[in-house]
Structure 1
């Protein structure tokens, strides 16, 4: 099962971005594309590892870049500054997400551009929810310990099914924000589900965050993702 990878560069509004794509090269059969939006640190080894893991599961995975190659954070302070730019301009974030989607659809891999989903972690969890809110033609989005505040722009008709994987004790998303997201998705007529993990905080999928990581929530949430993708696209094996 040889996992191959390539980088995908594109420009958007004068900024150069570089995504990371991975897939199993053992077969030429077209398979679904899964975008991966990263944490507030941007596209890192964490997201590339998730791309390889999805590639091994039978998908073409594309870890997208939302900051640009000249703006890659070197530390938490720089990451916070880069994220704040997009938090303060959700329309710019939406446009970068849509541009990244277009690039992923053109990946030089055995991919089926009619079958696309997106997942995201932390800030990336907010990003994939905004991608769905933009009316993007994706079958589903999955947010891992994301951020749920709605953007200031009006939602387009949401086409995606929505899976939210949430740590119940996440201080960034107290119960009222979870309920607000559920109401937002219900009012929009979305096929949605929220899985909450007890005694679990933010960043529960990342072993590098020792005080946050939850092996059980990490395992359960990934299993839920694979079930979700199989519901969207059928089995890949």
Structure 2
């Protein structure tokens, strides 16, 4: 197995001191970078492990923070913070830009070859970076099919991959259709994978605390979605150019 170095990185965003999880591949040369955005509950070991898995593949990966080092296990507290955030594109972009600055500042990162992978709220932030015109090489969003302000999707300059469960009540068919219409109208190179029978956050292992209705883990689709994300990175952000 490839040796991976990890460390916590503190940085400021959204009026908070964020704590990201940086994972570095073995070696000394520059490598493509990947931002990893968490679900609305916040950064957890799930996203930390995904950053480390990407580093094992050869990417510099930063799993970024949403809530100043906190994990919001209480659904009411999570919604009280995330719903206003999801309604405020500038706040989402500020959080994304701050994490992107950390990733770009890492000497091992090739600043011209960066992708963003996000789940739920983290996926919405990845999309907002694209709508802000950030020069990403790829965007992947799972469960985060949030439409943006009119016309701004035309600024997205990279392929967009989206994954969602067919039975996700938080991202229902109408939301999927609005998202794909936005992407298509903007001329984005997009694709959507609907995982049959899966609920919201199907990629996320079961948690002990109370979860929102309509949330559930689907092990097979979780593996498939991860393979799809890795395939997108291999296509758009190859480790050698």
Indicate whether the TM-score tops 0.5: yes
Task: Check the 8 A contact 1:138/1:159 in 2, yes or no.
Answer: yes
Using a 3 Å threshold, how does the CA distance of structure 1 residues 161 and 44 change in structure 2: closer, same or farther?
same
Q: Distance in 1 between matches of 2:174 and 2:84?
A: 25
Residue 75 of structure 1: CA displacement?
A: 2.8
1:120-139 correspondence to structure 2 within 5 Å: 120-139=118-137
Q: Distance in 1 between matches of 2:109 and 2:32?
A: 6
Residue 64 of structure 1: CA displacement?
A: 0.8
| 1:19-60 deviation per Cα after TM superposition (whole angstroms, max 9, x unaligned) | 1100222x1132110001100111111111111111111111
Residue equivalent to 1:220: 224
Residue 136 of structure 1: CA displacement?
A: 1.0
Residue 140 of structure 1: CA displacement?
A: 0.7
Task: Check the 8 A contact 2:37/2:123 in 1, yes or no.
Answer: yes
Task: Single out whichever of 88-97 and 136-145 deviates more from structure 2.
Answer: 88-97
Q: Does 1:6 align with 2:7?
A: yes
Residue equivalent to 2:86: 87
Q: Distance in 1 between matches of 2:157 and 2:48?
A: 27
Q: Distance in 2 between matches of 1:45 and 1:153?
A: 36
Give TM-score, length-normalised by structure 2: 0.88
Q: Distance in 1 between matches of 2:46 and 2:5?
A: 17
Structure 1 residue aligned with 2:156, among 158, 183, 186? 158
Task: Check the 8 A contact 1:147/1:172 in 2, yes or no.
Answer: no
Q: Does 1:53 align with 2:58?
A: no
Residue 149 of structure 1: CA displacement?
A: 3.2
Residue 209 of structure 1: CA displacement?
A: 4.9
Task: Check the 8 A contact 1:134/1:156 in 2, yes or no.
Answer: no
Residue 17 of structure 1: CA displacement?
A: 1.6
Please give the root-mean-square deviation of Cα atoms over the aligned residues, in Å: 2.1
Task: Check the 8 A contact 1:66/1:97 in 2, yes or no.
Answer: no
Task: Check the 8 A contact 2:31/2:239 in 1, yes or no.
Answer: no
Task: Check the 8 A contact 1:37/1:128 in 2, yes or no.
Answer: yes
1:200-215 correspondence to structure 2 within 5 Å: 200-209=198-207, 212-215=216-219
Q: What 5-or-longer segments of structure 2 have no aligned partner?
A: 209-214
Structure 2 residue aligned with 1:170, among 152, 168, 171? 168
Q: What 5-or-longer segments of structure 1 have no aligned partner?
A: none
Q: Distance in 2 between matches of 1:146 and 1:13?
A: 20
Q: Does 1:34 align with 2:31?
A: no
Residue 144 of structure 1: CA displacement?
A: 1.2
> SS at the partner of 2:200?
coil
Residue equivalent to 2:110: 112
Task: Check the 8 A contact 2:154/2:188 in 1, yes or no.
Answer: no
Residue equivalent to 1:96: 95
Give TM-score, length-normalised by structure 1: 0.90
Using a 3 Å threshold, how does the CA distance of structure 1 residues 81 and 174 change in structure 2: closer, same or farther?
same
Q: Distance in 1 between matches of 2:233 and 2:155?
A: 21
Task: Single out whichever of 32-41 and 71-80 deviates more from structure 2.
Answer: 71-80
